[in-house]
């Protein structure tokens, strides 16, 4: 297998990719739980602190982290990106960086919101828009990822591991 694609990433796509990344996704899922807990504490104790903190965290995550990350990375949108996926490695070339990483450095691949998220063993995560490949390329990549990096079963006691 040797798939190569060159594409122009939009700011909206980049924001969507960041918003749906594992870390931000977890934050956006847990902050409503904190808000409900804060509301319960407010009703029982009268202290609005937890409710304010959880709502502030939600606003900060979406408004500051996602949007500022996209703004700081705007230079990446000016030039096309080239991605190459082979049996041995994944490589990405942008206007500001070049990287080629062997598959042994990756732990898993997840699919969410039109992107493949590539999780490395050291915790670093990258993304690959599905739209840059035709239907045949998407099927081939999905089969390759399923074979090479099958989904990990998370232990019940560590749901965010």
Q: Same structural domain for residues 59 and 44?
A: yes
Residues forming beta bridges with residue 125, ordered by sequence position: 119
Q: Same structural domain for residues 35 and 84?
A: no
- 20/115 Cα distance (integer angstroms): 9
- Name the domain boundary from 72, 89, 107: 72
pLDDT for residue 139: 92
Q: Is residue 158 part of a domain?
A: no
- 19/34 Cα distance (integer angstroms): 19
Q: Same structural domain for residues 63 and 84?
A: no
Strand order across the beta sheet in which 2-7 lies = 2-7, 81-86, 89-93, 98-102
Calculate mean pLDDT across residues 8-31: 72
> What CATH number does residue 88 fall under?
2.30.29.30
Q: Same structural domain for residues 115 and 133?
A: yes
Q: Same structural domain for residues 93 and 143?
A: yes
> pLDDT tens-digit profile of 37-87?
666 766 677 667 766 676 676 666 666 666 676 666 666 677 888 999 999
- How does residue 96 score in pLDDT terms, banded at 50, 70 and 90? confident
- What DSSP state is assigned to residue 87? S
- 35/50 Cα distance (integer angstroms): 7
- Name the domain boundary from 35, 52, 72: 72
Q: How many domains does the chain have?
A: 2
Q: Same structural domain for residues 68 and 91?
A: no
pLDDT greater than 60 at residue 161: no
Q: Same structural domain for residues 143 and 87?
A: yes
pLDDT for residue 65: 67
pLDDT for residue 87: 92
How many CB atoms within 10 Å of residue 38? 20
Q: Same structural domain for residues 116 and 135?
A: yes
Q: Same structural domain for residues 34 and 48?
A: yes
> pLDDT tens-digit profile of 98-135?
889 999 988 888 888 888 888 888 877 788 889 999 99
Q: Same structural domain for residues 92 and 64?
A: no
Domain encompassing residue 86: 2-9+78-148
- Name the domain boundary from 72, 107, 124: 72
pLDDT for residue 108: 85
Q: Same structural domain for residues 37 and 97?
A: no
Q: Is residue 17 part of a domain?
A: yes
pLDDT greater than 70 at residue 154: no
């Amino acid at each position: 297998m040797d798939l190569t694609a060159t594409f122009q990433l939009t700011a909206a796509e980049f924001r969507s990719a960041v918003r749906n990344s594992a870390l931000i996704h977890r934050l956006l899922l847990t902050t409503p739980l904190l808000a409900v807990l804060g509301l319960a504490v407010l009703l029982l104790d009268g202290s609005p602190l937890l409710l304010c903190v959880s709502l502030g965290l939600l606003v900060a995550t979406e408004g500051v982290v996602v949007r500022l990350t996209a703004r700081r990375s705007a230079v990446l949108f000016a030039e096309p990106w080239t991605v190459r996926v082979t049996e041995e490695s994944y490589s990405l070339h942008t206007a500001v960086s070049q990287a080629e990483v062997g598959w042994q450095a990756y732990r898993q691949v997840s699919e969410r919101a039109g992107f493949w998220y590539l999780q490395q063993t050291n915790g670093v995560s990258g993304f690959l828009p599905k739209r840059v490949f035709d239907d045949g390329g998407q099927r081939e990549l999905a089969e390759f990822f399923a074979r090479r990096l099958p989904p990990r079963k998370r232990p019940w006691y560590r749901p965010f591991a």
